[in-house]
A and B are shown apart, each in its own frame.
Chain A
Amino acid sequence: DTGVSQNPRHKITKRGQNVTFRCDPISEHNRLYWYRQTLGQGPEFLTYFQNEAQLEKSRLLSDRFSAERPKGSFSTLEIQRTEQGDSAMYLCASTAGTGDSYEQYFGPGTRLTVT
């Protein structure tokens, strides 16, 4: 399978714990994005990388959230001291370039439940 993959697919954690999600983009895609989708809503942009550089962070990304893409390939999203409001689907997407013709390809998401 050459699509975007995300692990784990589901994560249940207790409030206050830290969690980390992984995204593997399509090979050689230089841009990688994280979005969050809560129930009944559309995805909301969190942050994106071009290669290993994090170029933009949304105001939704509080200081408890950190994302990395150390070698310009896979990315991790860590949430520290989770809160119930963090319960959502976390989506990763990747694209090959920066022009209008480049489609963002989405992974299946990681569903986080904070109890």
Chain B
Amino acid sequence: AQSVTQLDSHVSVSEGTPVLLRCNYSSSYSPSLFWYVQHPNKGLQLLLKYTSAATLVKGINGFEAEFKKSETSFHLTKPSAHMSDAAEYFCVVSRRGGGADGLTFGKGTHLIIQP
């Protein structure tokens, strides 16, 4: 079975400083991994996805993530936080290989941006 563990339930950073949201995965298959963001009262939006191509994946709004098989990690980073980044972030793995099957979500990391 596939699973993801988000290592921090809350992360607080100052505006303009780097963001690091940590995620470890477990998968019997070669995984497809995703990061989704959920702003208050808005739908889930895909930030980026890894599907066995380049291990460094660039997403929207300046976010990127690196797939590290040896560490079973897929951490999300951004060089400089913006106030609009405040939201809930979910690390996600496909239940079987491929993003079109049902997804398994982590519990989420609440990102707080301090002015």
Contact = CB atoms under 8 A, between A and B. Distances in A.
A100 B85 CA distance: 27
Contacts of A33: 102-103
B105 interface: yes
A93 B100 CA distance: 10
Contacts of B107: 40-42
Main SS of chain A's interface residues?
A: loop
Contact of B99 (A4, A40, A45, A101): A101
Interface in B35-75: 36, 42-46, 49, 51-52
B103 A100 contact: no
B43 A102 contact: no
Interface residue tally on B, bucketed by range = 20 to 34
B103 A45 contact: yes
Contacts of A107: 43
Main SS of chain B's interface residues?
A: loop
Interface string A74-112: 000000000000000001010101111111101111000
A106 to B, nearest CB: 4
B43 A58 contact: no
Contact of A100 (B45, B92, B99): B99
Contacts of A58: 102
A97 B105 CA distance: 20
B93 to A, nearest CB: 11
